[in-house]
Amino acid sequence: MQLQDSVVLITGGSSGLGAAAARMAWQAGARVVLADKAEPPASHPLKALDPVCERWHWQATDVADAVSGSAAVDAVQDRFGRLDVLVSAAGLACAERVHGRDGPHRLETFQRMLQVNLLGSFNMMRLAVPAMLNAPPRPAQAGSDSRGLVVFTASIAAFDGQVGQVAYAASKGGVAAMTLPAARDLARDHIRVMTVAPGVFDTPMLRGLPDEARVSLEATVPHPARLGLPDEYAALVRHIVENDYLNGEVIRLDGALRMGPR
């Protein structure tokens, strides 16, 4: 599948990894819809690349809500007439122990992690698939076996969850576990499902850390010994789009990092 003239829906596309994927897709010739609760800031790359929104659109979206998610998919079809790729990059993180100084882990925190990271990813996939199946074939895609693609975003915490990450790791572990059965479910429809599991990346979430903490994080990555760049995530997403034989797999993008307990 080629990104040129494709339509890409990116959840969490207003910032971080999602914003990098949006810029990559737009520069590759795709039309892009950002599904995010937050409006893209003035610094968002698409506001500079395409200030009149000719090939992109923002849709206020709660990925964990059936009505809001459906409205986002409808907006894609109304604006651009089809949907080819879903990049699921919306997510939350938290740090809370099973039992800490303030007592047991809050149930609402665990529920919120599952609701946004796992249920939200599933919700947007289930809603996007019918739109992909209804999209007419494009001559430019001749030779491609794919009618659509879903790219989830998990985390290496799904495999190496640290102290305080029980809720986050469970939610991202669910995304990773969902990848293969979803790919098998959708194989007959020629829709692929892949997941990227990033390590520590230079996103707004980590930019808020003190310099000492950032340096410590960078030192834990074997090579290259630095935080991952959002553009590196976007480059992997592009390769997944363009390589039709990638399906049903979780790819770690982490510089060989295997996180310790803390």
Active site members = 168
Q: What is the β-pairing status of strands 31-36 and 85-88?
A: unpaired
Q: What per-residue string of b and e applies to 210-235 under the rule 16 or more CB within 10 Å gives b?
A: eeeebeebeeebeeeeebbebebbbe
Task: Report how far apart, in Å, the C-alpha atoms of 35 and of each of 60, 118, 134, 166, 184 are.
Answer: 6, 16, 20, 27, 26
> Does residue 59 contact residue 124 with C-beta atoms inside 8 Å?
no
* CB hemisphere CA count around 221 (13 angstroms): 19
How far apart are alpha carbons 174 and 164 in whole angstroms? 17
SS3 content of the chain, % helix, strand, coil (to 5): 45, 15, 40
Nearest to 177 by CA among 157, 198, 158: 158
How far apart are alpha carbons 226 and 217 in whole angstroms? 8
How far apart are alpha carbons 240 and 119 in whole angstroms? 23
Task: Report how far apart, in Å, the C-alpha atoms of 200 and of each of 18, 172, 193 are.
Answer: 15, 14, 23
Nearest to 12 by CA among 109, 114, 124, 108: 124
Q: What is the β-pairing status of strands 103-104 and 99-100?
A: antiparallel
